[in-house]
Amino acid sequence: MFNSNNATRAAGVAILAGTLVIGAGASAQPKPAPPPSAEKQRMIDLGIAHKTAAGLYQYLKEQAHGGQPLNWRSVPDWTGVWTREASPFFWDPDQGDPNALPTAKLTPPYQKQLLEKLDRVNRGIEFDPLSNCEPAGMPRWMVEPFLREWVVTPTQTYLINEMQNEMRRVYTDGRDHPSKDDAYPLWEGDSIGFWDGDKLVIHTSQMRAGQYQRIQPGYSEQVETVEVWHKTEASTMTVDVWSFDPPALVEPWYAKQVYKKLTNDDRSLRIRYWDCGENQNNTVVKTGEGTSDFKNFTFTKKDDK
């Protein structure tokens, strides 16, 4: 099998090079998730204390005295082309080791579902719904590894991921979410927010069920998130995010997401329209065994070996 030095070294490579390290035939018993730091535990406790995403959002709004509306003079400079810093296959970057369990505290059904999925992956059986050209959707949107842009206006902020052209609209004009009877599941959910100085606080509800990533847990349609976006350095965007999801999580799952602004000195990085179906060679199907395979290539026939 492998030893922890190999795993640590490989995980470092994963973070640096954006690769996923998986255990082919790895240990059947994943290692426990790393324990939180004291600072992280404080953020976890903040989520626990407020019980729901709406409760935490309301608390943060009260702390900010209702927030301060932006005007065109006070719009922060969030321009540029950005990407997530951590390995895309960990929702919580603190997981670090691909052979450790995610840091979420899951309910028994979702824990069972995760362990069964990891077992299938270790046996080479894996199919990602993205292969059907579905968008990632929130909250998975936060960890996809491609280019991003943030567009801030006084009354709306657009959070754009080039992958599948996924754009989240965050309404900061004081509106509330739709009524419960008018709410229905959305890929990106419904996001409202307010500005607390140079921090954008967001509450997102109405999301569809999905998975945080391929080797991460699933989430239910009841998932809601609270995010605090803060440009902490010229090239660093830090996002504190809490997921609340009673069917899946026994307590809110807190993680710190970090996005880095790419240099792009030659301006060669441009976000283009993403057409998932434009190349037949990318058509991937679910096999009878439940794993992934290419359907047909344009350059060779199925029985060419």
Q: Which residues bind another protein (CB under 8 A)?
A: 1-2, 6-7, 10, 13-14, 16-26, 83, 85, 88-89, 124-128, 130-131, 133, 145-147, 162-163, 214, 260, 262-263, 268-272, 274-276, 278-279, 281-282, 284, 291-294, 297, 299-300, 302, 304-305
Q: How far is the CB of 195 from another protein (least distance, A)?
A: 27
**Where would I find the beta strands (DSSP E) of 139-217?**
148-152, 156-161, 166-171, 190-196, 199-205, 210-211
Beta-strand relationship, 218-219 and 224-233: unpaired
Q: How far apart are CA 189 and CA 169, in angstroms?
A: 9
> In this complex, which beta carbon is closest to another protein, that of residue 91 or of residue 195?
91
AA letter at 57: Y
> In this complex, which beta carbon is closest to another protein, that of residue 55 or of residue 145?
145
Half-sphere exposure at residue 67, Cβ-oriented, CA atoms within 13 angstroms: 24
Q: How far apart are CA 209 and CA 58, in angstroms?
A: 24
> In this complex, which beta carbon is closest to another protein, that of residue 29 or of residue 179?
29
SS3 209: coil
Going by C-alpha positions, the residue among 237, 244, 281, 275 that lies closest to residue 259 is 237
Q: How far apart are CA 183 and CA 169, in angstroms?
A: 16
> In this complex, which beta carbon is closest to another protein, that of residue 122 or of residue 225?
122
Q: What H or E segment, with its residue span, contains residue 55? A: helix 53-63
> In this complex, which beta carbon is closest to another protein, that of residue 3 or of residue 179?
3
Residue entry with tokens 């505290």:
105
Q: How far is the CB of 119 from another protein (least distance, A)?
A: 14
Q: How far apart are CA 91 and CA 102, in angstroms?
A: 8
Residue 145: Cβ within 10 Å count = 16
> In this complex, which beta carbon is closest to another protein, that of residue 48 or of residue 284?
284
Going by C-alpha positions, the residue among 29, 33, 23, 30 that lies closest to residue 2 is 23
> In this complex, which beta carbon is closest to another protein, that of residue 59 or of residue 146?
146
AA letter at 198: D
Q: How far is the CB of 140 from another protein (least distance, A)?
A: 12
Q: How far is the CB of 164 from another protein (least distance, A)?
A: 8
Q: How far is the CB of 97 from another protein (least distance, A)?
A: 11
Q: How far is the CB of 98 from another protein (least distance, A)?
A: 8
Q: How far is the CB of 155 from another protein (least distance, A)?
A: 29
